[in-house]
Amino acid sequence: MSPLYKSNECSYNGAMAAKISYTTYDYKEVTLVPVIASFDTAGRIVPLYVRLSGEVYRVDSFFVNERFENIKSFRCQILVRDTLKPLQLTYYKEEDVWGIAANSASLF
């Protein structure tokens, strides 16, 4: 077993740490992104800012979909140069990471 699997954390693209998941979900189609979010004691999560392609964008509004216990999808409107643009953010609770569809990152 390599040293990567001895710990529950690994480096992703040299930029972000993420826990190793032992689920069968395929993350190849997901790009991990840094998100500043607010968490409360009732379990509610509010994404506030997201970094895409080196730029920070404010989340103006969102709708949350909680179909799965440990995965929350957020349909967001982010402010890009005074224009609201849609962005689908997903929070993976077990891995404690945020992601977007791999092809979405190139749109910003």
The band of 105, judged by pLDDT with boundaries at 50, 70 and 90, is low
**Tens-place pLDDT, residues 17-73:** 555 556 655 666 889 999 999 999 998 999 999 999 899 999 999 999 988 888 999
Give the lowest-confidence range in 10-14, 88-92, 93-97.
10-14
pLDDT at position 3 is 34
The band of 104, judged by pLDDT with boundaries at 50, 70 and 90, is confident
pTM above 0.85, yes or no: no
pLDDT at position 69 is 84
CB atoms within 10 A of CB 47: 21
DSSP for 18-72, written as a single string: EEPP-SS---TTEEE--EEEEE-TTS-EEEEEEEETTEEEEEEEEEEEEEETTEE
Six-digit token pair at 27?
């993350």
